[in-house]
Chain A
Amino acid sequence: MHLARNYFWVQKILRERFCHHFCAAGKLFGMEQQYRHLLELLRRTTVHGESNSALVIGPRGSGKTALLNHVLKDLREMTQVRENLLEVHLNGLLQTNDKVALKEITRQLQLENVVGDKVFGSFAENLAFLLEALRKGNRTSSCPILFVLDEFDLFVHHKNQSLLYNLFDISQSAQTPVTVIGLTCRQDILELLEKRVKSRFSHRQIYLMNSFDFKQYIKIFKNQLSLPAEFPDEPFAQKWNNNVQHLSEDKAVQDVLQKLFHHSKDLRSLHLLLMLAVSAVTVHHPLLTAADLQEASRQHSTDSKANIVHGLSVLEICLIIAMKHLNEVYDGEPFNFQMVYNEFQKFIQRKAHSMYNFEKPVVMKAFEHLLQLELVQPLERPSARAQREFLLLKLLLDSSQIMEALQLYPNCPTDVKQWAASSLSWL
């Protein structure tokens, strides 16, 4: 009973950690410098009323939002800052044009033209109102405003980039102190800014690169899997943490991690792997083992398309093999059903011993199933008039995928396997 509760806690703590990437409660890895830079920037905004603008750039999953959340959390805890900073959070995926963005800004700032959650006035009025409000403020008396633009690259596509122009313009003139922080994963973001907007941007770029090596990666792995000191059952936590320490030194585990590290450095994929592994932990399977991680890694890296092939019928497999041969013969040129059918007929007539010759409509049906599974893709949208037999198609599988899938395919007839191995073998 007691043990069951422990496992409940283990699952809860670890899953929360793996799911809420942005959560400020988590830890930051390998971005101390960026953290200090951003914290200092925002601190100066609030304390000195200094306007700034900065971009946080890094690939997906590199911890941009987490960094910002950490900085904001720590900022709010400072005494000089508390209640002294207005925050406006925008997201390029939500505020798809300036009109919406403007309403959202006004709403979040709770300016006087906001009643309840509604913003009054036309777009032009709102813009004029907001600009006037910001213009009236000054460095020493107005409350600083922090604008956070998530998915910053999407704001760039707004008409004339006037929102960005105005925000950056305010940050470069003696008005209400504002700091504009943009978060984006695009490295070419500066090239997207219009020249006037670019000139007003202060060119502070904070790069997050996942610039840690494998040793640090192992450390992160340990850290992410360890139970916190405040875990209710201390001996259990001790035991768990010892096991984690043990795992991190295990060669098999290191291999798994090394493979993942080679593929992707971002911590979200690590979280995903650990999530799969931790899910296996129960009362009957008390501790995480290397085998769990290996299994998780296998699941994590399976090929999704090849997986589909495993569930196909022999006829469908034959069609795919026919298409593979066509691809080899015609060097990847598109094909149609008739060509595939002919290829299949050749195999049936000359080579097959165990295969039953299907009617053409049956083959067609199997072919359409493949189409639905998106293993083959038409070049253009099928129109009502065009005959389905002659619709040009492409195979979305690589020959290596097909061969691999065939190896694992249960009860595959030998002649089909032989045919797959060589298109010339029937000669």
Chain B
Amino acid sequence: MNTRQQSKLIYSWYGKPLGSDRKLRTSHYKGILITSESSKTETCIQLGDFILVEGVNADQPYVAQLVDLYEDGAQHKHAVVQWFCRLEEIPQNQRKMLKRDISAQEVFFDQVLGYDTDIAAETIIKSIMVIPLHLGEELPVITLNKEQTFYVKQSWDGKCFKVLSPDTFSKLKEANKTRGVITNSSKASIPSDIFTPVKKKTESVVRSATKPKKIDMEIESKHSSSKSSLSKERHSQRMANNDIKTPTARKKLELNSPTRSKGRLLGYEVLGLLDDDCDATAPLEQSATKRKVKFTNDILGSPPKIPCSDDKSKSTTQSAEHHQSDIMRLSPYTKVNDFSDEDKNLQEKDDVPSLGGYQSSQSPVVTPRSRRRCVQKTSALIAEQISMLDQEDFLSDSDSSYSLSSEEKEDDDDDDVPCTPEKKTKSNRILSTPKSSRKSAVHTPAKTLRKTPLKGTPRTPRNATPEIPRRIQATQEPASVLEEARLRLHVSAIPESLPCREEEFQDIYNFVESKLIDGTGGCMYISGVPGTGKTATVHEVIRCLQQAAENDELPPFQFVEINGMKLTDPHQAYVQILEFLTGQKVTATHAAVLLAKLFSTPGPKRKTTVLIVDELDLLWTQKQNVMYNLFDWPTQRHSKLIILAIANTMDLPERIMMNRVASRLGLTRMSFQPYTYKQLQQIVSSRLKGVKAFEEDAVQLVSRKVAALSGDARRCLDICRRATEICEFARQKRAPEMVRMAHVTEAIDEMFSSPYVNAIRNASLHEQIFLKAILAEFRRAGVEEATVQQIYHHHVALCRMEGLQSPTVSETMAICSRLGACRLLLVEASSKYLHMRVRLNLSQDDVMYALREE
């Protein structure tokens, strides 16, 4: 397994504290260093930089600008950010207000007040670029580095879009500039610069020079390629799949540079690699020469970017911006401290030079023409290769993560979900790895499948939309009072309010509301027999809460629902929850890991999730790990997860759950009592409000009958509905009629009468005699079981008494099996013939009652 997956990221402060607040015991910093242990790279992010912040969805990290960095009294690193929001984060219905097409790279200056701007520094992924543009301006066409650059044209305050105020605009612009200056000479920070080939070359030179030298630390502050390499560390797998082309090409190329750490390339880096290839020299030698170039670069007055740890004197004099951060670094701060003053000076100095000058200072770095031509040639070659190479090619590449995820995909039936390697979940940082691998799992199939149609094979329905064909003719609206009543009485009809469950509604509402306001998690267990309105009430609560959230009375939340009966396997619960939350489709095992990570890491912009688990008892597994996980998540500090679990039995936690599961479920319980007849009556009459279709007594009769039997509201409504049908049936074409007692009684009889008596009465004569023979045999033997042979003798005797021709054994067997098929009798397998044993499936009294008259 690749070590990268377990690589750890270390966050350390850059520079001395700028100032500290004694009271709050916080100290502020101007930058943060992110060091990746395995790949020995280090990135520095400073105030004012634009960053990506880990979000709910690995594909869509949040965009933000770093405003402040501080460490609190508990040694936790915090960052204060100014958010930018992507189009996806804006509610669907409000996107229309933009009235223009938004490219994926456009973000909005976020002025929504609801979001927490104080985030944990550990959630910062890398720095990026956000370039302010005027509203009318077209987005510059960029071919490279798409992931790293965003554009902002408008701001969004939760209600409407506004053009950026000149103030903000200039501030953002400034942020970009200063950033470019502060950083280093080889940096492609100024927007217009990004696209100059010269720039690219510079970058690549630096990269190729540093890369083979693994022991040396790459000190790249604010370097776009460093960003990418950092992001590589975190999202190595993701990168591998993000851009199919790159890895394909890379595989080919890496043959030439075996020492290169794998999987750290973006599109433009290919160019860097090409350089290596062109100089058909040994990597080491090459790196040596390149370093020389680099030094020139440094000498020429552009700060940092010196990848040598031994050359201390040089770094001291030339730049204060590199930090040796090898694994063994003992006192990273002291060194920095030494130069911090100088560093400041340098910064000031760096601010002075104009852009032009800046560029010129870089020019010496530019590699000779010949090389560039070579690059062009090879890039053309690569383009060719890219088109030819298949995806499978790169699958076998360094990209072990992919193969891992694909393996996971295959073993769909994996039972033991939470058994994923512990290492992965050890630190919050590392959790980004599974995230990215998840992405690869999601994307790859889609991509491979998208290819198939081109080849002319039948369209594989991976992207099929679930849809039922539409009807051709319009539905008829209810024409009569009875039809209207029937429509309203249908269980599916959603009433405006749920009568008789006000108390329960309020309890659940208060519970969820309080958790929402606190931003914490919690569980509630709701029990009650079927048809007592559990699910309906919970849905009503959610509807009300959503309304409140829309009106800004409550913090917004996400609502997810799963139903044990609608899952093929308890572990599928993970898959469904994850799909609801992030729209990703992964295997159950993988989803469990991702969810665990999601709920255990502090997500700054993540909304609270309200999860309804219906038919909880069906999530039971041998190890109960699904239930355990579900109820464990809300107890985590950052989960922001509220679970409403619904099941039928009141004592379910005690009966089927292990102690550790029951304990996590907690004691917030609620039980829905079966409806009383008055409540049922109220339910029916509230639905029938304004429609005069039922007699008052008729409703009461139904309610009393149902309340006495089960208290199931569904049953009550069904009976009423059936009564309207009977009424309609009976009246034919006369004047409109109301549902009267007679109709209701008939409906009740139809639904509750035992079918056995009727079945026996309508049986043929010999079948009835056979039943009598059974009774006679039971009475004789005193045992409620007899063989066909014994019964047959009685049957023959009874036939003689009645003066009937006695049946043959075959006929008797046929009678027996017919009665057995209806389950009036319980019979053994018929191979035993005369010796098969027979029992009655109903009481002897019922049989006698059914046979008595006539």
Contacts and interface: CB of A to CB of B under 8 A. Distances in A.
Interface of A: 36, 40, 47-51, 57, 59-60, 80, 83-84, 86, 98-99, 109, 111-116, 120-124, 127-134, 136-137, 139-145, 160, 162, 165-166, 169, 172-176, 185-188, 195-196, 198-200, 202-205, 207, 209-211, 259, 261-266, 301-306, 332, 377, 394, 396-398, 400-401
Contact of A199 (B412, B712, B792): B712
Contacts of A203: 715, 718-719, 751
A188 B825 CA distance: 11
Contacts of B833: 305, 377, 396
A207 B714 contact: no
B589 to A, nearest CB: 13
B764 interface: yes
Nearest to A300: B811
B464 A112 contact: yes
Contacts, number: 229
Contacts of B824: 187
Contacts of A120: 460-462
Given A166-B565, A304-B810, 18 more contacts: A59-B759, A60-B821, A80-B476, A127-B568, A133-B466, A139-B475, A143-B468, A165-B566, A172-B714, A185-B822, A187-B823, A196-B565, A199-B714, A200-B530, A211-B762, A261-B765, A302-B808, A303-B809
Interface string B835-854: 10000010000000000000
Given A142-B470, A173-B492, A112 B465 contact: yes
B525 to A, nearest CB: 17
A130 B808 CA distance: 52
A172 to B, nearest CB: 4
A144 B472 CA distance: 10
B834 A115 contact: no
Nearest to A401: B809
B762 A115 contact: no
A47 B805 CA distance: 53
B466 A303 contact: no
Contacts of B581: none
A303 B810 contact: yes
A301 B714 contact: no
A40 B458 CA distance: 42
Interface of B: 412, 458-462, 464-476, 478, 483, 486-487, 490-494, 529-531, 565-569, 572, 575-576, 615, 618, 648, 710, 712, 714-715, 718-719, 721-722, 725, 729, 750-751, 755-756, 758-759, 762-767, 789, 792-793, 796, 804-805, 807-811, 814-815, 818, 821-824, 832-835, 841
A398 B718 contact: no
Given A198-B530, A306-B809, A123 B568 contact: yes
A66 B529 CA distance: 38
10 contacts: A98-B568, A124-B575, A127-B566, A142-B468, A166-B566, A196-B565, A196-B615, A204-B722, A259-B805, A332-B789
A84 B473 contact: yes
A198 B531 CA distance: 10
Given A48-B483, A48-B487, A120-B461, A136 B466 contact: yes
A377 B832 contact: yes
A141 B471 contact: yes
Contacts of B715: 199, 203
A211 B486 CA distance: 31
Given A207-B758, A305-B809, A50 B486 contact: yes
B631 to A, nearest CB: 21
A80 B789 contact: no
Given A172-B492, A209-B758, A263-B766, A140 B475 contact: yes
Contacts of B461: 112-115, 120-121
B841 A51 contact: no
A116 B471 CA distance: 23
B618 A109 contact: no
Given A120-B460, A198-B530, A377-B832, A111 B466 contact: yes
A205 B576 CA distance: 36
Contact of B469 (A86, A98, A196, A303): A86
Given A112-B467, A196-B648, A207-B755, A124 B567 contact: yes
A165 B566 CA distance: 8
Contacts of A200: 530, 714
A398 B834 contact: yes
A265 B764 contact: yes
A217 to B, nearest CB: 10
Contacts of B474: 140
B469 A143 contact: yes
Nearest to A49: B475
Nearest to B615: A196
Candidate in B529, B566, B804 with the most chain A CB atoms within 10 angstroms = B566
B491 A143 contact: no
A211 B331 CA distance: 97
Contacts of A60: 818, 821
Contacts of A124: 412, 567-569, 572, 575
Contacts of A398: 789, 792-793, 809, 834
A194 B792 CA distance: 37
Contacts of A264: 764, 766-767, 814-815, 818
B566 to A, nearest CB: 6
A394 B835 contact: yes
B459 A115 contact: yes
A202 B723 CA distance: 13
Nearest to B819: A59
Given A60-B818, A127-B568, A211-B762, A115 B491 contact: no
A139 B486 CA distance: 14
A263 B807 contact: yes
A186 B492 CA distance: 29
A59 B822 contact: yes
Contacts of A176: 468
A133 B468 contact: yes
B143 to A, nearest CB: 35
A400 B805 contact: no
B749 to A, nearest CB: 11
A203 B824 CA distance: 20
A76 B530 CA distance: 36
A51 B750 CA distance: 19
Given A115-B459, A136-B466, A262 B565 contact: no
Contact of A303 (B473, B710, B721, B808): B808
B458 A84 contact: no
Given A396-B833, A396-B835, A185 B821 contact: yes
Contacts of A332: 789
B672 to A, nearest CB: 13
Contacts of A174: 492-494
Contacts of A400: 796
Nearest to B579: A128
Candidate in B490, B804, B814 with the most chain A CB atoms within 10 angstroms = B490
A329 to B, nearest CB: 16
Contacts of B486: 50
A400 B755 CA distance: 36
Contacts of A162: 565-566, 568
B468 A145 contact: yes
Nearest to A133: B466
A251 to B, nearest CB: 15
Contacts of B764: 210, 261-265
A264 B814 CA distance: 9
Nearest to A379: B835
Given A142-B468, A259-B805, A377-B832, A48 B823 contact: no
A57 B822 CA distance: 9
B530 A172 contact: no
A129 B464 contact: yes
Nearest to B572: A124
Contacts of B648: 195-196
B529 to A, nearest CB: 8
Contacts of A301: 807-808, 810-811
Contacts of A50: 486-487, 490
